C-alpha cells in the first residue's frame, strides 16, 4: 500500500491533481467540552475533524492531519480548506465518494460547506445488493469493515484496536498505524465503489442510477437535516411529563382498588398480575408468546375484555383502566421521557438518525428518537406534536403527498380507472367502495 501523511497544500494539490473520482473519509474527535461524553466524536456539534484521508487509486492514500495533539498538523489550514471547498467538495467535475456520506456531509455543513453533486455513498450502494439469494443487505451488514472482509477477504484494523482508550486526535499523526488506519478507509471505500458499480453495470444498471442520482444526493441532505435537528419546547415536555405521572398514579390507585396490592409494573404485565388474571380469576389464556408463555400484550387485553363483556361484565372496567394505564405509560415513556433523553446537550434540539434505506418498503425511518411515529392531533391528549417548535421568527410547515402509493401504482400499472380517478379528481374511496359493493351485492350495482 502506498499510504502517507501530507502537511502542505502543494502536496495535497499534487496528489489530487486531475482526479475525477476520489474517496474521502473524516477522522473526528470531541472538542474539549465533550471529551468525556460517549460517542461525542460522532456528533458534528460536539466534535471536529481531526484529519481527512483521500484516495484516488487502488492501494493509494494520503492522510491530512488537521487537529492532532501529537505529531504534526497541516500548515496554512485556512488556505487548505478554501482549496478543498472550491476544488473538491463543491466541484461539479469531481465525484466525491464516501462511506456513510451523511456523516461527512454533517461535518462539512458545520463548517458552512454544502457538499455538491456528483456524490456517491457506498453504504447506500451496499444496501442495494443482495446479502443472499433472497434478501438485500441490511444497514447492519454494510459497515465498511464488514464489506471489505466479505468482498476482498481483508481484515481492516478496527477503531478500538487502533485508538484504544484514546481519541483519534491523541494519536501521533505521523505514526504508521495512524496513517494506515485513516488511509485504508478511503482506499477501500474507493475499491467498494468500483466493485459495486461493476456489478450494477453488469446486472442492475438501474441500481447504479438510483445510487448516483437519488440515494447519494439524499444522503447529503440527510446529514444537513440531522445537523439542524428539531427545536423542542423542553418546558412543555416537562409539564406534560408531570401531568402524565399524576394520571398514572391515579390509574394505579384505581386498579389497586379492584385487584388489591398486586404489583402491575410499568406496563401491567407482571407475572403476579398474570397469576391474578389466569389463576385467581380463572380467565381464559387467550394468547401465548413465541416461547409458549402466557401473553398479556395489547391484543390479549382486548381479547380478554371482549370475553369478559360476554361472560363476566363486572371485570370490563378493570380492563378499561389497564388499557388507559398502558396508553398513558406508553406516551410518557416514548414521547416524553424518550424525547428528553435524546435532547442534545450542545444544541437543546433533537437530532434523530435518519435512515433512507432502512425499510423494505423504501420509506424513510428514524431512530434516537423515532420522530416519524408521533401521534396525530385528535388521537393524542398529551399533544406530542406541540413539543416540536419553530425557531424564533420561523414557521413549521407540514407537507404530505396525497395518496402517493396509489398514484405511483396508477402510473406504473397504467390502470385506466385509476388514472381517470386522479385526472378528474374523483374519490378513490368511492371507486373502491363501488367495486366492493359490486363484488358483494351482485345485481344491486349501478355505475357511479
Q: Considering only CA atoms, which of 103, 134, 105 is closest in space to residue 117?
A: 105
In this predicted structure, the answer to whether residue 447 has a pLDDT above a threshold of 50 is no
| Range list of H helices, 20-100 | 77-84
Structural domain boundaries in the chain: 2-228, 229-396, 404-440
Q: Considering only CA atoms, which of 137, 108, 140 is closest in space to residue 44?
A: 108
Q: Considering only CA atoms, which of 371, 14, 442 is closest in space to residue 228?
A: 371
The pTM of the full predicted model, rounded to 2 decimals, is: 0.86
1 pLDDT band (50/70/90 cuts)?
confident
pLDDT one-digit tens code per residue, 107-165? 999 999 999 999 999 999 999 888 777 778 888 899 999 999 999 999 999 999 999 99
Average of per-residue pLDDT values in the chain = 91
Q: Which fold has domain 229-396?
A: Taq DNA Polymerase; Chain T, domain 4 (1.20.1060)
Q: How far apart are the first and last CA of the chain?
A: 72
> Which of the 8 DSSP states describes residue 288?
B
* Domain 2-228: CATH class, spelled out: alpha beta
Mean pLDDT value across residues 400-427:
80
Rounded distance, CA 50 to CA 27, Å?
Answer: 5
Residues pairing with 423 in the sheet: none
pLDDT one-digit tens code per residue, 81-111? 999 999 999 999 999 999 999 999 999 999 9
Percentage of the chain lying above the pLDDT 90 cut? 76
Mean pLDDT value across residues 264-287:
93
Rounded distance, CA 106 to CA 332, Å?
Answer: 31
In 120-147, which positions are buried (b, 16+ CB within 10 angstroms) versus exposed (e)?
A: bbbbbbbbbbeeeeeeebebeebebbeb
Asked if residue 369 has a cis previous peptide bond (ω within 30° of 0), the answer is yes
The two beta strands, 21-30 and 2-5, are unpaired
Cell of 84: 478543498
pLDDT one-digit tens code per residue, 43-83? 999 999 999 999 999 999 999 999 999 999 999 999 999 99
76 with 9: CB under 8 angstroms? yes
The two beta strands, 349-350 and 353-355, are unpaired
Same fold, 2-228 and 229-396: no
18 Rama class: left (phi>0) / alpha (psi -120 to 50) / beta? left
> Which of the 8 DSSP states describes residue 40?
G
In this predicted structure, the answer to whether residue 271 has a pLDDT above a threshold of 90 is yes
Query: How far does CA 342 lie from the centroid of its chain?
Result: 14
Amino acid at each position: 500500500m502506498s499510504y502517507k501523511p501530507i502537511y502542505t497544500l502543494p502536496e495535497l494539490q499534487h496528489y489530487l491533481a486531475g482526479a475525477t473520482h476520489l474517496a474521502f473519509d473524516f477522522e473526528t474527535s470531541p472538542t474539549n467540552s465533550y471529551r468525556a461524553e460517549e460517542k461525542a466524536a460522532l456528533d458534528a456539534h460536539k466534535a471536529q475533524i481531526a484529519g481527512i484521508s483521500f484516495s484516488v487509486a487502488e492501494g493509494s492514500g494520503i492522510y491530512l492531519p488537521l487537529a492532532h495533539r501529537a505529531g504534526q498538523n497541516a500548515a496554512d489550514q485556512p488556505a487548505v480548506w478554501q482549496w478543498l471547498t472550491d476544488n473538491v467538495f463543491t466541484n461539479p467535475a469531481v465525484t466525491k465518494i464516501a462511506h456513510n456520506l451523511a456523516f461527512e456531509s454533517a461535518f462539512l455543513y458545520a463548517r458552512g460547506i454544502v457538499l455538491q453533486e456528483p456524490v456517491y455513498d457506498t453504504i447506500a450502494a451496499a444496501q442495494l445488493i443482495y446479502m443472499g439469494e433472497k434478501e438485500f443487505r441490511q444497514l447492519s451488514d454494510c459497515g465498511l469493515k464488514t464489506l471489505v472482509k466479505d468482498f476482498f477477504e481483508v481484515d481492516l484494523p478496527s477503531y478500538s484496536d487502533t485508538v484504544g482508550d484514546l481519541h483519534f486526535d491523541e494519536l501521533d499523526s505521523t505514526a504508521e498505524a495512524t496513517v494506515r488506519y485513516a488511509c485504508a478507509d478511503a482506499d477501500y471505500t474507493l475499491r467498494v465503489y468500483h466493485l459495486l458499480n461493476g456489478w450494477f453495470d453488469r446486472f442492475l444498471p438501474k441500481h447504479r442510477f438510483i445510487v448516483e442520482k437519488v440515494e447519494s444526493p439524499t444522503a447529503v441532505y440527510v446529514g444537513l437535516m440531522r445537523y439542524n435537528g428539531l427545536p423542542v419546547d423542553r418546558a412543555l415536555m416537562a409539564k406534560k411529563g408531570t401531568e402524565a405521572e399524576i394520571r398514572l398514579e391515579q390509574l394505579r390507585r384505581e386498579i389497586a382498588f379492584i385487584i388489591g396490592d398486586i404489583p402491575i409494573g410499568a406496563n401491567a404485565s407482571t407475572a403476579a398480575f398474570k397469576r391474578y388474571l389466569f389463576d385467581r380469576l380463572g380467565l381464559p389464556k387467550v394468547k401465548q408468546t413465541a416461547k409458549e408463555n402466557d401473553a398479556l400484550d395489547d391484543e390479549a387485553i382486548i381479547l380478554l375484555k371482549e370475553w369478559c363483556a360476554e361472560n363476566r361484565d363486572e371485570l370490563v372496567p378493570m380492563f378499561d383502566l389497564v388499557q388507559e394505564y398502558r396508553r398513558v405509560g406508553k406516551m410518557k415513556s416514548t414521547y416524553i421521557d424518550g424525547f428528553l433523553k435524546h435532547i442534545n446537550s450542545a444544541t437543546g434540539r433533537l437530532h434523530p438518525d435518519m435512515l433512507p434505506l432502512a425499510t423494505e418498503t423504501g420509506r424513510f425511518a428514524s431512530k434516537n428518537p423515532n420522530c416519524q411515529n408521533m401521534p396525530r392531533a385528535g388521537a393524542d391528549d398529551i399533544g406530542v406534536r406541540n413539543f416540536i417548535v419553530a425557531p424564533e421568527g420561523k414557521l413549521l410547515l407540514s407537507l404530505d403527498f396525497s395518496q402517493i402509493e396509489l398514484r405511483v401504482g396508477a402510473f406504473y400499472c397504467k390502470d385506466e380507472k385509476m388514472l381517470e380517478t386522479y385526472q378528474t379528481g374523483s374519490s378513490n374511496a368511492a371507486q373502491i367502495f363501488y367495486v366492493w359493493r359490486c363484488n358483494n351485492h351482485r345485481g344491486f350495482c349501478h355505475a357511479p
